[in-house]
Chain A
Amino acid sequence: MKTLYITNLIILVGIIGYLAWKPSLTPTIAYVRSAYLVEKYLGVKEAQRNYQKKLASWQINADTLQHKLEATLKFYQTQQATLNEAQRKQLRVEVQRRRADLDRYQLNMQTKAKEEEDRLFGGALKQINSFVEQYAKSQGYEIVLGTTETGNLMYASHAYDITDEVLTALNKNYQQ
């Protein structure tokens, strides 16, 4: 009787042990709120600050060109009666040149702003994607979904939401 009891106990422990250790057939899934992660990521905030700083410095240059154009134009308008034809022609050329400088600078500024925006924000987004992959591997997640406002995930329990822990680890990694 006692032997049977011990045998049953061993079998039971074995079954429980197997169930506990057997590899899970369902993948470990979690999700992150993508927009929130991007908004709160320090890398994106710094990229935003740097971008604004660059835009401001370019704008100062554009303003200087604009002022020069306006000053030349004003001089031409107020003084044209006192000037001879040759001087008027020279001023008109000067106004055209300054206007062309301004147009060229503004066009160039738009192109550079777009490039800079892509470089800074694209880099920060790459950092997020890369980190989420590293984090998922280290924490044993097999699938991490990113929710977007267009609704690629209709419903998931909050228990699967790892946004806050990913954000904390992501920002810590950024600052070290």
Chain B
Amino acid sequence: MISKIKHAMILIGMAWLYAGCQASIDSQRALYQWVNNPTNGMVKSKEVGLYRLTMKYMPPELQASRELAHKSPQKADDLLKSERDNLTFVLNLSPVSQSGRQDIMYQEVSSYAAYKQRAMDMNFNMAKYIAIKANGKEIRPGIAHLENTYSLSQGRNIMLVFDRRQVPQNARKLDIIFTDQFFGTGIHHFVFHQKDLDNLPQVTYLDK
């Protein structure tokens, strides 16, 4: 009798583990939560002095979800298919403390000309300062642009899109290198493990 109970408990435990491994994501909110949870390996952050630099992987599912939210006429499948050709990341540059700090665009600039130069560089020249290194190969982003020059928030996002076909398929690590030319914080490495990027649970709400 005890043996049977033990067996039943083991089976229940295994079923629970299986269910845990097969967890799915059923809303955009849950998807954002997963991506933003640092333990899932899709977001890496560094702090240097007054600045925080955060690099976040944007899975194709999230990109497709965002597009659909903007009432794109395309179907989720088509969107996913086109997004899977890309590797998309967002680099966020923010002050560490949000209180009393001015907009990051004005930090460490001494004149209007310097500000203009920064806005120009961040809008059009970011690709020069960012690359993925994978298996010794260096890949520059096809798109690297500042989301918005003017903003109510003190930080800024830079959208980075790489051509996935250029990244070696057997690469286990993607090392994104950002050489800061703006805030004097040096060279930064954000290392993503391919197994973490592939570990996104099934996103079910896109199929509905």
Mark A residues whose CB is within 8 Å of B: 43, 46-47, 50, 119-120, 122-124, 126-127, 129-130, 134, 173-176
Contacts and interface: CB of A to CB of B under 8 A. Distances in A.
Task: Identify whether the interface residues of B are mostly helix, strand, loop, or mixed.
Answer: strand
9 contacts: A46-B187, A47-B186, A47-B187, A124-B186, A124-B187, A126-B48, A126-B185, A126-B186, A174-B189
Given A126-B185, A173-B46, 15 more contacts: A43-B186, A47-B186, A119-B184, A120-B186, A123-B48, A123-B184, A123-B187, A126-B48, A127-B185, A129-B49, A130-B48, A130-B49, A175-B189, A175-B191, A176-B191
Contact of B185 (A50, A123, A173, A175): A123
Contacts of A174: 189
Interface of B: 44, 46-49, 179-181, 184-187, 189, 191
B131 to A, nearest CB: 12
A176 B192 CA distance: 8
Given A175-B189, A176-B189, A176-B191, A126 B47 contact: no
B186 A127 contact: yes
A131 to B, nearest CB: 8
Rank and list the top 9 A-B pairs by shortest CB-CB distance, nearest first. A123-B186, A130-B48, A124-B186, A127-B186, A130-B49, A127-B48, A176-B191, A123-B185, A126-B49
A127 to B, nearest CB: 5
Q: Which of A122, A123, A127, A175 has the most chain B CB within a 10 Å cutoff? A: A123
A45 to B, nearest CB: 10
Contact of A50 (B47, B48, B187, B189): B187
B95 to A, nearest CB: 13
Contacts of B181: 119
A112 to B, nearest CB: 12
Nearest to B186: A123
Contacts of A47: 186-187
A130 B191 contact: no
Nearest to B46: A173
A50 B138 CA distance: 14
A176 B191 CA distance: 5
A168 to B, nearest CB: 16
A129 B44 CA distance: 20
A120 B189 contact: no
Nearest to B96: A130
